[in-house]
Amino acid sequence: MSTSPLQPAKDNAQVGPSSSPSTFIGTVPITARSWTQSEIVTIYVGPKRKAFRAHKDLLTAKSAYFKKCLEDNKWAEGASKKIHWDGEDDTVEAVEMMIDWLYGEDLTLDHAPWPVSRHVVDCYKLADKRLMYGFKNALVDALRQRLNRDDNPRYVTIDSLEHAYTCHLETSPLYKCMLESVVWGVSIRESIYRLGGPWEWRLSKALENHGIARDLTQEFAFGPRKNPATARGCCYHDHSDGPCCGLNNLEDDSDDPSDNDVRSSSASGNSSDTDA
């Protein structure tokens, strides 16, 4: 992950980047001048209370959760400008990724913790709990970009799909994207998942979960069996907070040659773990 513009800080540390372009929240520009003059909020994460600082105006503009708890001084968080996230699923790494997105950095998974797709699930759950729809959509886009690499084919692992299910994200667009990636990966690497194959145990373990077994069965029977990264538009976005991106009228890139390239490169049944 790239260096966060807001690292866990000492009291005298600079908050936010030294110079930042305007960030647009919907159609309203949140300029560097406006948010740098706002109050500072400290978020304490995990049992070790690692502290992250962010500008209140950015937090409230990008999350209904922050808007509710910070803009009304009836709540302790609004009065103290301190928020405590002690849940086991609120990881330091996920908050670091949130801060990167918050300050307008390009969201990349190139340096994310391994396994990457599991880290995406952790970040997505954090975003889902805090009503940060833009962050959720940016995470899905970053995952799809990572999947769409002809030089080094990657797939979402079955383990990460299980993690998404146990995190209660089975109805989310992220889960749909991950499910399609798993089925695509199994389809083109069938030899390593079949009976006696090196990854047979992974598939068998996943199928012990009745919900995942149902979803995989339906996807194998009726799904597209293609890399979800090649789908156009915003079909894996959550637009619950506003209008759609307007790209869903585009058709899938069904003739994308990358599908054939990846299928050829994977036909040998290489069992290396190419987690997305």
The per-residue DSSP string of 74-133 comes to: TSHHHHH-EEEE--TT--HHHHHHHHHHHTTPPP--TTPPSSHHHHHHHHHHHHHHTT-H
Three-state DSSP at 30 gives strand
pLDDT over 80 (residue 105): no
In the chain, where the domains are located: 1-90, 107-276
Question: Looking at residues 168-196, what average pLDDT do you find?
Answer: 89
Residues whose CB falls within 8 Å of the CB of residue 169, separated by 6 or more in sequence, listed in order: 121, 124, 125, 128, 175
Neighbours of 39 (CB within 10 A): 10
CB burial readout 229-247, b (16+ within 10 A) else e: bbbeebbbbbeeeeeeeee
Q: Does the bond joining 228 to the residue before it have cis omega, within 30 degrees of 0?
A: no
CA dist., res. 88 & res. 47, Å (int): 9
Radius of gyration of the chain (CA): 20
* pLDDT given for residue 71 in this prediction: 83
* pLDDT given for residue 35 in this prediction: 66
Q: Which amino acid is at 3?
A: T
* pLDDT given for residue 152 in this prediction: 64
Q: With a threshold of 0.85, does the pTM exceed it?
A: no
Question: What is the percent of the chain where pLDDT is above 90?
Answer: 46
Q: Mind listing the pLDDT tens digit for each residue in 13-46?
A: 335 433 333 333 333 345 555 667 789 999 999 9
- Range 110-113, long-range pairs (CB < 8 A, 24+ positions): 110/1, 110/146, 111/1, 111/2, 112/1, 113/1
Q: How far apart are the first and last CA of the chain?
A: 15
**73-87, 99-113, 118-132, 256-270: least confident range:** 256-270
pLDDT over 90 (residue 179): yes
Q: Cα 9 from chain centroid?
A: 25
More confident residue, 150 or 12: 150
Give the confidence band of 155 by pLDDT, cuts at 50, 70, 90. Answer: confident
More confident residue, 39 or 104: 39
Residues whose CB falls within 8 Å of the CB of residue 83, separated by 6 or more in sequence, listed in order: 41, 42, 43, 44, 69, 77
pLDDT over 50 (residue 128): yes
pLDDT over 80 (residue 199): no
Question: What is the percent of the chain where pLDDT is above 70?
Answer: 74
Q: What are phi and psi of 111, to 5 degrees?
A: -120, 25
Question: Looking at residues 62-88, what average pLDDT do you find?
Answer: 89
Strands (DSSP E) contained in the chain are 23-25, 28-30, 40-45, 50-55, 82-85
pLDDT over 60 (residue 134): yes
Two structure tokens written together for 249: 């009228």
CA dist., res. 240 & res. 247, Å (int): 16
* pLDDT given for residue 257 in this prediction: 37
Please, which residues bridge with residue 43 across strands?
52, 83
